[in-house]
């Protein structure tokens, strides 16, 4: 049942991905920049770039471009689809579904996974490859290694995952966080020696990035971000926080907001939009489903923690305890990476672990509360909670499909005006190869057929649009 549900969900998500063209923003310019370089030149050219450390990401873009045989959209989409399939595959393996209650809880966890606002960022953008889903897959695969019987293969694979993740995206060190957290709660698949090797690799990464080449991290005020009920631009950040010496307050807000976004589904990209709508009385169905889903999902985690607090104090952790505790640790580490600006995409790895934690808490609730000794009233309350939460999360999952429709239509429209966009960005290609590549990509985008929003009823806006 678990494999069937995961396969069907993955298929639906992949279909939504492949029917949309590559987007221009964050995809076209990187493709153009690596076109006339070798893969080695791309890797070396990006290994000491300031602010961000993502050399392998650009190398992947180059390799897919050269290996596409002119079918660029197919190559990048296939790469994306493979990682979506890998995400659902490892999600099932880590959950360890064995019983009927496991299967029911897992089905609920699937709609939590795909209904999370962080999941959208892993499937709708390509960049031209989506590096956020790569980190999510690497991190959850590291947890799977920790659950294994261990050995040299597990230790080596964990180290390789860490190296690939850190070379792909700035949030790559989350792989190390997962392994260390798993070790602390009793998962011994990666040995002490393996953890020591990964810690040494982490130290080397930190020395290289922040010491030897002083690559650092993105500066505060480099990007716009949400703050309170509004979105503030870089100039406002400089004026309100940097020039006044209150930058620590801005960093703290970003970290707390990023952490809260996982467990409360709010804020979105740092902006407390749902709270604003409640305060102003602008409450539509989307606000209600978001609040109900977050309350039920996180409420189950709180009830689980209360029930297991004595076991945690005695350091007695079962499978469910491990998933919940690792989720909290990953969310904290992931949130710390948002100190400069808050973006839902960055928290996508924590969103995957949140769905696993909800699975564990739901399975525990079903097992305990369905016992004959439990009062009928308590069982009925749990049933109503799960029904309300399941309905709300399912609506949010359907909203993912609606968002993909909107994005596909918008991306295809942008390709019709790609020349104007490139001119505005001062990125118009000057070589015949560059111009030909743009024309080929545009032709591929025009041949795609995203479903029209005309087929979607107007009431859907109130149910699925968050901003």
Give per-residue pLDDT as tens, 136-153.
999 999 999 999 998 999
| More confident: 455 or 110 | 110
pLDDT of residue 211: 75
pLDDT of 409 over the 90 cut: no
Q: How far is the C-alpha of 31 from the C-alpha of 51, rounded, in Å?
A: 20
Sign, CA dihedral 204-179-138-323, equals negative
pLDDT of 47 over the 90 cut: no
In 3-state terms, what secondary structure has residue 24?
Answer: coil
- For range 323-346, the mean pLDDT: 93
pLDDT of 296 over the 70 cut: yes
In 3-state terms, what secondary structure has residue 171?
Answer: coil
Question: pLDDT grade, residue 50 (50/70/90)?
Answer: low
Question: pLDDT grade, residue 135 (50/70/90)?
Answer: very high
Question: pLDDT grade, residue 461 (50/70/90)?
Answer: confident
pLDDT of 215 over the 80 cut: no
Question: pLDDT grade, residue 300 (50/70/90)?
Answer: very high
pLDDT of residue 466: 62
The alpha carbon torsion through 98, 103, 105, 109 (nearest 10 deg) reads: 110
pLDDT of residue 467: 57
**Any idea what DSSP says for residue 227?**
E
User: pTM score, two decimals?
Assistant: 0.93
The answer to whether 220 touches 251, Cβ cutoff 8 Å, is yes
Tokens representing 189 are: 């698949």
User: Cβ contacts of residue 358 below 8 Å, gap of 6+?
Assistant: 108, 109, 112, 297, 300, 301
Q: How far is the C-alpha of 87 from the C-alpha of 176, rounded, in Å?
A: 18
pLDDT of residue 342: 87
Tokens representing 293 are: 């889903």
In this structure, the number of other CB atoms found within 10 A of the CB of residue 212 comes to 10
- For range 330-338, the mean pLDDT: 94
pLDDT of residue 456: 75
The answer to whether 87 touches 136, Cβ cutoff 8 Å, is yes
How many helical (H) and strand (E) elements, i.e. helices and strands, does the chain have?
21, 2
pLDDT of 371 over the 80 cut: no
Average predicted confidence (pLDDT) for the chain: 90
pLDDT of residue 49: 64
Sign, CA dihedral 49-255-133-212, equals positive
pLDDT of residue 419: 92
pLDDT of residue 111: 95
Q: How far is the C-alpha of 111 from the C-alpha of 240, rounded, in Å?
A: 40
- First vs last C-alpha separation in the chain: 36
Integer CA distances (angstroms), 317 to 99, 297, 326, 350, in order: 20, 21, 11, 21
Q: pLDDT digit string (tens) for 258-283? A: 999 999 998 988 889 888 888 888 88
Q: Which helix (H) or strand (E) holds 464?
A: helix 460-464
pLDDT of residue 48: 66
Would you call 257 exposed, middle or buried from its count of C-beta atoms within 10 A (0-12, 13-18, 19+)?
buried
pLDDT of residue 53: 81
């Amino acid at each position: 049942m678990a494999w069937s549900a995961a396969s069907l969900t993955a298929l639906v998500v992949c279909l939504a991905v492949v029917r949309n063209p590559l987007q221009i923003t964050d995809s076209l310019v990187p493709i153009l920049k690596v076109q006339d370089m070798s893969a080695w030149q791309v890797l070396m050219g990006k290994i000491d770039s300031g602010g961000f450390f993502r050399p392998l990401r650009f190398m992947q873009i180059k390799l897919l471009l050269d290996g596409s045989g002119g079918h660029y959209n197919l190559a990048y989409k296939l790469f994306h689809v493979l990682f979506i399939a890998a995400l659902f595959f490892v999600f099932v393996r880590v959950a360890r579904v064995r019983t009927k209650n496991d299967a029911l809880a897992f089905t609920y966890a699937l709609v939590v996974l795909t209904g999370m606002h962080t999941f959208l960022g892993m499937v709708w953008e390509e960049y031209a490859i989506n590096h956020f889903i790569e980190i999510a897959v690497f991190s959850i695969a590291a947890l799977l290694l920790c659950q294994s019987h261990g050995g040299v293969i597990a230790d080596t694979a964990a180290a390789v995952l860490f190296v690939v993740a850190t070379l792909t995206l700035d949030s790559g060190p989350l792989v190390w966080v997962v392994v260390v957290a798993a070790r602390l709660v009793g998962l011994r698949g990666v040995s002490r020696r393996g953890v020591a090797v990964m810690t040494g690799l982490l130290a080397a990464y930190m020395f290289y990035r922040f010491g030897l080449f002083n690559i650092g991290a993105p500066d505060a005020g480099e990007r716009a971000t949400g703050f309170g009920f509004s979105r503030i631009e870089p100039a406002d950040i400089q004026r309100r926080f940097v020039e006044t010496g209150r930058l620590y307050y801005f960093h703290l807000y970003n970290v707390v907001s990023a952490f809260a976004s996982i467990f409360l589904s709010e804020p979105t990209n740092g902006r407390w939009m749902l709270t604003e709508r409640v305060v102003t009385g602008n409450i539509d169905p989307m606000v209600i489903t978001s609040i109900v889903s977050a309350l039920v999902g996180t409420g189950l985690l709180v009830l689980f923690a209360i029930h297991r607090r004595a076991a945690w104090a005695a350091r007695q952790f079962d499978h469910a305890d491990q998933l919940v505790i690792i989720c909290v640790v990953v969310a904290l580490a992931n949130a710390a990476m948002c100190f400069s600006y808050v973006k839902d995409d960055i928290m996508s790895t924590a969103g995957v672990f949140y769905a696993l934690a909800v699975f564990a808490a739901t399975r525990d609730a079903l097992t305990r509360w369905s016992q004959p000794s439990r009062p009928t009233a308590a069982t009925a309350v749990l049933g109503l909670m799960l029904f309300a939460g399941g309905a709300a999360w399912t609506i949010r999952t359907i909203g993912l499909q609606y968002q993909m429709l909107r994005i596909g239509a918008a991306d295809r429209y942008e390709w019709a005006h790609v020349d104007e966009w490139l001119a505005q960005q001062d990125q118009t290609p000057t070589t015949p190869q560059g111009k030909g590549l743009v024309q080929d990509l545009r032709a591929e985008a025009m041949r795609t057929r995203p479903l029209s929003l005309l087929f979607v009823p107007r009431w859907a806006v109130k149910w699925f649009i968050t901003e």
